[in-house]
Amino acid sequence: MKKNLKRMAGYYKPYIGIFVLDMFFAFLASIIALIIPLTVRYITSGIADMDPDTAVRNITVIGIILIALVLVQFISNYFISNIGHVMGAKMEYDMRAEIFAHYQKLSFSFFDDQKIGQLMSRITSDLFDITELLHHGPENVAISLIKIIGAFVILSSISGYLTLAAFLLVPPMFIYAYFLNKRMKKAFRQNRIKIAEINTQIEDNLSGIRVVKSFANEQIENEKFKEGNDGFLRAKKNSYFYMGFFHSGMTAFTMMINVVVIMTGGILMAKGMVNVADFIAFLLYINVFTDPIRTLIDFTEQFQNGYSGFERFIEILEIEPDIEDSPEAVELTDVKGDIVFNDVSFKYNDTAHRVLKHIDLNVPAGSYIAIVGSSGGGKTTLCSLIPRFYEVTKGSITIDGKDIRDVTLKSLRNNIGIVQQDVYLFAGTVYDNILYGRPGATKEEVIEAAKLANAHEFISELPNGYDTDIGQRGIKLSGGQKQRISIARVFLKNPSILIFDEATSALDNESESIVKESLERLAHNRTTLVIAHRLSTIRNAERIIVLTENGIEESGTHNELMEKNGAYAQLYKWSR
């Protein structure tokens, strides 16, 4: 915990000047709160013995001073509420940028094991509670301590007996708070987990809402959500069970302090040991003393919320990227596209079963290679190793003789273009999605890329042409249109190596014909690897690789493999 708190404090560093001012104004506001009850004591004890004119003059002076103090307090509270909150928002901005940038560094293997809703929860609701703690926490503690210490000093000067009576219940109150705090921390952490699970369910449902409706399974989705929502409610009930004991217990302690002071004060006045003016001032200061106690109650809840969120925040930041640039990594330049797999094996982290075994493959620069095989044979995995989406478990992959682990990830991936079956388009316009291939490109270059991808004609017919909003994941476009935009994106990128991952298998015949023409144009004079489901589409490939769980089973042209009448011939017969 000490390490985490130290790390949390590090986020104040860029804003240390504002933080110091925030604490200074918090100190001023607290001191002013302590001064006002003193004037009541002075008026009730001192003014009564003065002549009317002197008393009026003194009260007027006191009033002017109090008004000035109220103005100072107004400025102090304004700074805390405005500038202090902006500081908190900036810290939240920094933390959100940090965790988002960290997400970008993590490899596919991390996201394979994660749920998007939970990752979103860590970057939204968790961070809000963390920054609320970072802003309000120090000032609440500072204000509370100043008021408690100041009230203690003033109360002691008024009456030692009453002070002893007032602070008699403080030690058991803090012991009570300590034990309940431990249980509250555990309960609040469970709340975080449950709300993240609900976010995951919501994200999953809304992303697949068309599937839900096509199967008329709204009731099933409601029941699934109810199960998650019930779990969250149980977690909330558990945390509120302990919070209820905490709040009611602390409130009872503060009320008991007042009761003890009133009883003790009554006895002391009866014995002539305390006068009425001192007793009234003491009661006013007891309220000044109990207010920070309530603030500390709120801070305790705030701390549990914020700290449990910070623990989840740190959990993500401490996950080291398993694929990153080596210290000696160099830029991959002047790429011809000669790819060599040297005894490559691969397995995922969560399984001892190797997906790929002892793959030796030479893909000459500019060649057109097709990879076929049954589902689960490792075709997509093999191609995902080239841009280092996953790291080889054994062996090596080289491009133009350079081990891909010895070049920078950015330069490696800049030279590889991927067209997938499941096209992902971002929310925004057609133009924005094509420009994503090379953000610095001109509008003319974007249009030229669209023409090469056979997309310019249908884009021009859209309501706003290239500026047409295509909706979430391009929902307003057909499958063929989305695929052609994704191809235009790769045309604009202009990579030396291409990977087509079953890019036409989900399209109708007409769309497939148009997209196929675009792909062939894109593949011209580039090293191209095609993962094919429809074997009829790759009959003209220079070489066809048949990949099975045993590795590369067969290799050759379509005619050569058909003559062998082996694995490829069987796959071809089944696919027709």
Single out the residue of 389, 477, 369, 384 nearest to residue 433, CA to CA.
Answer: 477
Is 249 a residue whose pLDDT tops 80?
yes
Helices (H) and strands (E) in the chain — how many of each? Answer: 21, 10
- Determine the Cα–Cα distance for residues 501 and 302; give it in Å rounded to an integer: 49
Average pLDDT over residues 293-301: 74
Whether pTM > 0.85 for this model: the answer is no
Is 537 a residue whose pLDDT tops 80?
no
Summarised one tens digit per residue, pLDDT across range 125-137 is 778 888 888 888 8
**Stretch among 192-206, 282-296, 502-516 having the lowest mean pLDDT:** 502-516
Summarised one tens digit per residue, pLDDT across range 314-326 is 888 888 888 888 8
* DSSP E strand boundaries for 326-429: 339-346, 356-363, 368-372, 394-399, 402-403, 416-420
Residues 19, 3 contacting (CB under 8 angstroms) = no
- Determine the Cα–Cα distance for residues 298 and 296; give it in Å rounded to an integer: 5
**Stretch among 105-114, 476-485, 551-560 having the lowest mean pLDDT:** 105-114
- Determine the Cα–Cα distance for residues 367 and 542; give it in Å rounded to an integer: 7
**Stretch among 32-36, 159-163, 204-208 having the lowest mean pLDDT:** 204-208
71: pLDDT confidence band, cut at 50, 70 and 90?
Answer: very high
DSSP of 73-127, one letter per residue?
HHHHHHHHHTHHHHHHHHHHHHHHHHHHHHHHHS-HHHHHT--HHHHHHHHTHHH
Q: Which residues contact 565 (CB under 8 A, 6 or more apart)?
A: none
38: left (phi over 0), alpha (psi -120 to 50) or beta: alpha
Q: Where are the alpha helices (DSSP H) in 124-217?
A: 125-158, 160-167, 170-207, 209-214
- Specify the long-range contacts of residues 225-234, CB closer than 8 Å, at least 24 apart: 225/198, 225/201, 228/194, 228/197, 228/198, 228/201, 229/198, 231/194, 231/197, 232/191, 232/194, 232/195, 232/197, 232/198
Name the one residue in this structure whose structure tokens are 């030396």.
496
Residues 287, 147 contacting (CB under 8 angstroms) = no
Can you give the pLDDT at residue 135? 81
Can you give the pLDDT at residue 17? 92
Can you give the pLDDT at residue 115? 74
Can you give the pLDDT at residue 396? 93
Can you give the pLDDT at residue 404? 93
Can you give the pLDDT at residue 122? 79
Single out the residue of 444, 529, 514, 449 nearest to residue 483, CA to CA.
Answer: 514
494: left (phi over 0), alpha (psi -120 to 50) or beta: left
Is 398 a residue whose pLDDT tops 60?
yes
- State the maximum Cα–Cα separation within the chain, in Å, rounded to a whole number: 124
Can you give the pLDDT at residue 576? 58
Single out the residue of 518, 520, 522, 521 nearest to residue 541, CA to CA.
Answer: 520
Average pLDDT over residues 39-65: 75
Average pLDDT over residues 540-567: 86
Q: Which residues contact 335 (CB under 8 A, 6 or more apart)?
A: 399, 400, 415, 496, 497
Summarised one tens digit per residue, pLDDT across range 339-350 is 999 999 888 775
16: pLDDT confidence band, cut at 50, 70 and 90?
Answer: very high
Summarised one tens digit per residue, pLDDT across range 343-370 is 998 887 755 556 788 889 999 998 989 8
Is 153 a residue whose pLDDT tops 80?
yes
Can you give the pLDDT at residue 46? 65
Q: Mean pLDDT of all residues in the chain? A: 82
Is 306 a residue whose pLDDT tops 60?
yes
Average pLDDT over residues 173-197: 78
508: pLDDT confidence band, cut at 50, 70 and 90?
Answer: low
Can you give the pLDDT at residue 75? 92
Can you give the pLDDT at residue 386? 92
Single out the residue of 509, 437, 425 nearest to residue 474, CA to CA.
Answer: 425
Is 379 a residue whose pLDDT tops 90?
no
Residues 347, 354 contacting (CB under 8 angstroms) = yes
Q: What does the H/E/C string look like for 199-221?
A: HHHHHHHHHCHHHHHHCCCHHHH
Can you give the pLDDT at residue 395? 92
Is 506 a residue whose pLDDT tops 60?
no
215: pLDDT confidence band, cut at 50, 70 and 90?
Answer: low
Is 376 a residue whose pLDDT tops 80?
no
Average pLDDT over residues 413-433: 85
Cα within 13 Å of Cα(110), Cβ side: 17
Query: Does residue 213 or residue 395 have the better pLDDT?
Result: 395
Residues 252, 290 contacting (CB under 8 angstroms) = no
For each of the domains in the chain, give its residue range(s) and CATH number, in order of start: 2-317 (1.20.1560.10)
Can you give the pLDDT at residue 162? 85
- Determine the Cα–Cα distance for residues 302 and 139; give it in Å rounded to an integer: 13
The percent of residues in the chain predicted with pLDDT above 70, rounded, is 93
Query: Does residue 216 or residue 173 have the better pLDDT?
Result: 173
Query: Does residue 221 or residue 429 have the better pLDDT?
Result: 429
Can you give the pLDDT at residue 457? 87
- Determine the Cα–Cα distance for residues 294 and 252; give it in Å rounded to an integer: 11
- Determine the Cα–Cα distance for residues 555 and 274; give it in Å rounded to an integer: 103
